[in-house]
Amino acid sequence: IEQGKYDKAAEILHKVLEREKSKFGEVGNNSAETLLQLGLLEFKSGNFVSSMHFYNKSLNIMEESLGVNNSQFSNIYVHLGQNYIALKQYHEALDAFQHAISVLVVDFDPTDFLENPDIGRLVLDKLELIKSLQAKAGGLMNYYHESGDRSEEHTSELQSH
């Protein structure tokens, strides 16, 4: 992937996925990681819809095998958010970033995109929280840049979603 040989990487990852499925079944952390890598590959190739498909499959497998309160979810939600930004779906991106944050911070589940957690709260993975907050900040900047309006009216519209 890093060398830019996306077709070859996709071929290898699909073979790995088939081998994992035959060896471990559909559900398993290995398959979830391979699906995540396929999602990253599709994202780098500009295939954002396909990328989201792989991310969502990875999320479903992780949820089934690890449960919903796992810090690995945060990483996938950040990638989903980046996909939404590429598709210029900023509200969905902010929702994904907020979800990434809520996975990492115990008892934090706001619907207001402008709200951030108290850093003093119990955090499952501080580095992932920082990455999620940075991604959210980028999403907010894209939202405001695209709208061209930084007024109070726009802020209240964002908060209502």
The mean pLDDT values, 10 residues at a time, for the chain of 161 residues are 71 82 70 88 92 92 74 86 91 87 76 69 72 82 71 48 48
Asked if 124 and 106 touch (Cβ cutoff 8 Å), the reply is yes
Output the pLDDT for position 3.
62
What is the C-alpha separation between 152 and 144, in angstroms, rounded? 12
Asked if 50 and 86 touch (Cβ cutoff 8 Å), the reply is no
Output the pLDDT for position 52.
94
Phi, psi of 108 (to 5 degrees): -120, 110
Output the pLDDT for position 119.
65
